[in-house]
Structure 1
């Protein structure tokens, strides 16, 4: 039995996020990179054997990015607060990177808008790493490469 090793396995340890070429920093967690085909059910007159399942559109989930607080937090907060001043949707990029900085995978996001920023829970009785979470909405993504 021959076992081959794929040296390009996508082991992502960090995720770089850019919005219109502005670097928002490195995140340690990225969730929600998925899409779903919304199906519509149609019953055909005279056909009692089944119901037609027709694809109608794609639905994209919001993406949640998390990381420890750091120097990039101020830049992120500024971008999120820009929505209040009349925001235009932008393009975004998420790059999955190995520990050595090699880009393993990259996705372009269409019409990105920030939905929610969640800061750390501040409690001196339970010392732990302070983290922040960014949630973004978009109109679709495309894998690069």
Structure 2
């Protein structure tokens, strides 16, 4: 048996990834330490069949997804992502919310010769119509030597895995 299955990026590492927001240009401040919330499920409705007491039918209703969460070190006020989050979350609906597409790429842990970053994209998820709905700053502690982290939560219309 050949090892092509494992040579083609399986299982992929979870620590090399990139996030692109908006028009596809990788903004320098989109270096995140963690991405979570990638998932989809089908909501179902329980239906009991008359005269049949052994089981309950689970009928599909609609697609359901959670929220996409991105974590990173707290950025400056000049960050394009911070500007967008402030406009949406602190703008008191005075400005139109402009949804963006967020793309998450899971990359290979191997590097091209002469390169300092992983370049081969193994998996890709796209989140359409995304906009920030929550912006948290994790707690500060004088007893730890950790990076100050912010977590941005996004709602989105739908997602698809393209690779």
Asked if the contact 1:14/1:27 (under 8 Å) is kept, the reply is: no
Aligned to 1:45: 50
CA distances 1:69-94 after superposition (whole Å, capped 9, x unpaired): 35698222111122132203232211
Long gaps (5+) in structure 2: 109-116
Q: Displacement, 1:124?
A: 4.2
Aligned to 1:112: 130
Asked if the contact 1:15/1:29 (under 8 Å) is kept, the reply is: no
The alignment status of 1:129 with 2:147, answered yes or no, reads yes
Long gaps (5+) in structure 1: none
Structure 2 CA distance for aligned equivalents of residues 115 and 94 of structure 1: 18
Structure 2 vs 1, CA of residues 54 and 126 (structure 1 numbering), >3 Å: closer, same or farther?
same
Q: Displacement, 1:120?
A: 4.5
Q: TM-score, normalised by structure 2?
A: 0.73
Aligned to 1:19: 21
The number of residues matched between the two structures is 144
The alignment status of 1:92 with 2:102, answered yes or no, reads yes
Structure 2 CA distance for aligned equivalents of residues 120 and 39 of structure 1: 35
SS at match of 1:23: coil
Structure 1: 4+ residue segments shifted above 4 A: 70-73
The alignment status of 1:144 with 2:162, answered yes or no, reads yes
CA distances 1:15-66 after superposition (whole Å, capped 9, x unpaired): 3222322535121211111111111011222333322110111110111111
Structure 2 CA distance for aligned equivalents of residues 71 and 89 of structure 1: 22
Q: TM-score, normalised by structure 1?
A: 0.81
Aligned to 2:3: 4
Structure 2 CA distance for aligned equivalents of residues 118 and 102 of structure 1: 32
Structure 2 CA distance for aligned equivalents of residues 73 and 44 of structure 1: 60
SS at match of 1:115: strand
Asked if the contact 2:35/2:70 (under 8 Å) is kept, the reply is: yes
